[in-house]
Structure 1
């Protein structure tokens, strides 16, 4: 009996957008400060309803075997039991997600 392949939901910030994608492989990779994402999973084309957002993401990642995210752009990584739609949303000023501070606020004295 084989074990089911793991499935991860990865949420990350890219400029002013939040990406949510599904992948079979997530690791710290060989690049310091980056998270390695591989074997992306998108919805089946056999469904009657096509999500244009997911299709746009699928086209954007077409041909990508794996990619690397800077650690500070990752919001969350969840191991999930089933797949949902991949999507991109505007981060906006909703205040729900606080970006990781990149630089100190001022000189220390």
Structure 2
């Protein structure tokens, strides 16, 4: 008995306007535009109408009608091939966990005379 063909799913994380985007797609490539990652076939979770995730809904609205997106390579944070799609997110890039812990500020190095 043949097993059904499994479609590859990618999780792509990139930075856009100080936000960390996490999107899921079925297809990605370097594409024709030099220096850009081409992402297409976006995957958004099919949820019931009773439960709506506002974060994913915002992401879904932003990419509504987009067939293909080109992301500058220097904005890519990470690309993973995953078993199944998850929930797409838009998070604050400076504080991705959303917690109240702030990194300790780095001081200037002393100048040697």
Q: Please give the root-mean-square deviation of Cα atoms over the aligned residues, in Å.
A: 1.6
Cα drift, residue 75 of structure 1: 0.4
2:60 matched to which residue of 1? 58
CA distance in 2 between partners of 1:4 and 1:46 (Å) = 24
Normalised by the size of structure 1, how large is the TM-score?
Answer: 0.80
1:40 matched to which residue of 2? 42
Aligned length: 95
CA distance in 1 between partners of 2:28 and 2:39 (Å) = 5
Normalised by the size of structure 2, how large is the TM-score?
Answer: 0.78
Cα drift, residue 45 of structure 1: 3.0
1:28 to 19, 27, 30: 30
Cα drift, residue 47 of structure 1: 6.4
Cα drift, residue 46 of structure 1: 2.6
Q: Which runs of 4+ in 1 moved over 6 A?
A: none
The answer to whether 1:71 aligns with 2:70 is no
Cα drift, residue 84 of structure 1: 1.1
Rg larger in structure: 2
